[in-house]
Amino acid sequence: MPAEVVVFDTEFTAWRGSMERGWAGPGEHKEIVQIGAVKLDARTLQEVEAFEVLIKPHLNPILSDYLVELTRITNERIAEHGLAFADGLRAFRGFVGRRRLYSYGRDDRILAGNAALRGETALWPDLTGTNLKEWLLKVGVPLAGVHSGALAKHVGSVAQGIAHDALVDARSLAEAVRYLVARGAPNPFR
């Protein structure tokens, strides 16, 4: 069993209806604007360290009103604290190190897609994550309509903050795992 694992989440550009369109509308791209992650002790499931970075989108540098309302990430915050994608991804990779990655869905593919979109595939060459949705379904958690930020509360634990913030959503996923394992589910990190 690994000593530590990383549970992470991303927020990316969106517009009203973009999810239903599969980001197929004119100019719609899933450009990362935030990565949030927690390192967990793989045995105890306790949080060891947290990571959060804002990233400046390149193709759509002005966030939609929809995304600002959903995530509370403002254009001003991005301008003041956002990093270039390459710098943000390097910082995240530094945080991850050689630890295994876990997310709610395939956020690893969104990161790879962003690297490819920018012609910088070397930034995310072959790092793959594990989709914890599969484990959650296996242990009997119904997931229809549930996003990662609501997951802790959905399984019966305590909400970790306001959803659609990548760090809050990563903590919500981690808390859902902790809560379910404490009640008899097998540890997904073994």
Per-residue pLDDT tens over the stretch 87-112? 999 999 999 999 999 999 999 999 99
Contact 95, 44 (CB under 8 A): no
Residues of the chain with pLDDT under 70: 1
What is the per-residue pLDDT for 108? 95
Rounded to the nearest 10 degrees, the angle between the axes of helix 85-96 and helix 107-117 is: 140
- CATH number of the domain enclosing 64: 3.30.420.10
Cα 104 from chain centroid? 7
Decide: helix, strand or coil at residue 17. coil
Helices marked H in 118-165:
132-138, 151-154
Q: Per the domain annotation, does 46 fall within a domain? A: yes
Query: The tokens 């019966």 sit on which residue?
Result: 156
Tally of domains in the chain: 1
Q: Per the domain annotation, does 117 fall within a domain? A: yes
What is the per-residue pLDDT for 87? 97
Alpha carbon distances (Å) from 78 to 8, 32, 120, 156: 20, 11, 21, 34
Per-residue pLDDT tens over the stretch 165-188? 999 999 999 999 999 999 999 999
What is the per-residue pLDDT for 123? 86
Task: Tell me the pTM.
Answer: 0.95
Q: Per the domain annotation, does 119 fall within a domain? A: yes
Q: Per the domain annotation, does 140 fall within a domain? A: no
What is the per-residue pLDDT for 60? 94
Q: Per the domain annotation, does 18 fall within a domain? A: yes
Which domain does 44 fall in, by range? 4-131
Element at 23 (helix H, strand E): none
What is the per-residue pLDDT for 1? 67
Q: Per the domain annotation, does 53 fall within a domain? A: yes
Q: Per the domain annotation, does 82 fall within a domain? A: yes
Q: Per the domain annotation, does 76 fall within a domain? A: yes
